[in-house]
């Protein structure tokens, strides 16, 4: 008998290679803006810091997602001491992300196995609706999910319990005992599942040292380990 019946999956860096696309996309944007190699490296490091701080504030409910998109490249240019139009950077970067169809090695075979095994697969992700739908469509991953929930369309984002409330309300057979949240994001996926009262599995492909909180129900470093946790 399966331990869980309903699997809610994060997408970025759990199944889809967001990080790889982010790096390539930013390099393309910076190159188009005339940054030399040294400035590109500095810009990438500064962007990573600024973007992380903004998304952390968003996940705490302190700012809107619109604020992230409106300010991150302006903040970057100020930090670098470089003149430019942050909104132009954002438009170019969004186009790059919309065409990021990279997937994590083994993800497709993993999803196929789960679907064949009879699990109910649900995508539950924070992010831009257009970007996520395009990536699911072009990778073919949309065929594995019975439903796709994106914070941009829901009006609420992980780790807010309301994100999960919507999913459960539309799936009456789901219970807190037969459902698990699976993702790489401690502050969003693991904290979100914990806030709602369901089990969580932290996908830690990068072998990041685990903080004291939040505590996932289980931690895995490979899809093979994840299958074992689900069995």
Task: Name residues whose C-beta falls within 8 Å of residue 220's C-beta, 6 or more positions apart in sequence.
Answer: 201, 202, 203, 204, 226, 229
- Asked whether the beta carbons of 122 and 147 are under 8 A apart, the reply is yes
User: 52 Cβ partners below 8 Å, 6+ apart?
Assistant: none
Q: Among 10, 17, 160, 189, which one carries the catalytic annotation?
A: 10
To the query of whether residue 12 is one of the catalytic residues in this protein, the response is no
In terms of Cβ atoms closer than 10 Å to its own Cβ (0-12, 13-18, 19+), residue 83 is exposed
d(CA 56, CA 162) in angstroms, rounded, equals: 18
- Give the torsion through C-alpha atoms of 147, 98, 86, 14, to 10 deg: 60
Instruction: Just list the catalytic residues.
Output: 10
């Amino acid at each position: 008998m399966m331990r869980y019946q309903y699997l809610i999956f994060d997408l970025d860096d759990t199944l889809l290679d967001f990080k790889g696309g982010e790096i390539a996309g930013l390099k393309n944007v910076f190159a188009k803006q005339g940054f030399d190699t040294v400035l590109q490296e500095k810009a990438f490091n500064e962007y990573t810091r600024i973007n992380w701080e903004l998304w952390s504030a968003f996940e705490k409910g302190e700012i809107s997602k619109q604020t992230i998109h409106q300010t991150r490249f302006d903040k970057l240019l100020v930090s670098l001491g470089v003149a430019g139009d942050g909104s132009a950077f954002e438009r170019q970067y969004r186009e790059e992300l919309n065409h990021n169809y990279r997937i994590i090695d083994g993800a497709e075979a993993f999803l196929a196995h789960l679907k064949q095994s009879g699990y109910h697969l649900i995508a539950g992700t924070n992010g831009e609706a257009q970007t996520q739908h395009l990536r699911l469509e072009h990778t073919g991953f949309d065929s594995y999910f019975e439903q796709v929930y994106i914070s941009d369309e829901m009006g609420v984002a992980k780790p807010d319990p309301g994100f999960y409330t919507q999913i459960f309300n539309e799936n009456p057979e789901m219970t807190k005992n037969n459902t698990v949240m699976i993702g790489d994001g401690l502050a969003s996926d693991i904290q979100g599942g914990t806030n709602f009262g369901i089990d969580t599995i932290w996908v830690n492909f990068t072998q990041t040292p685990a903080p004291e909180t939040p505590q996932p129900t289980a931690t895995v470093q490979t899809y093979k380990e994840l299958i074992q946790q689900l069995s």
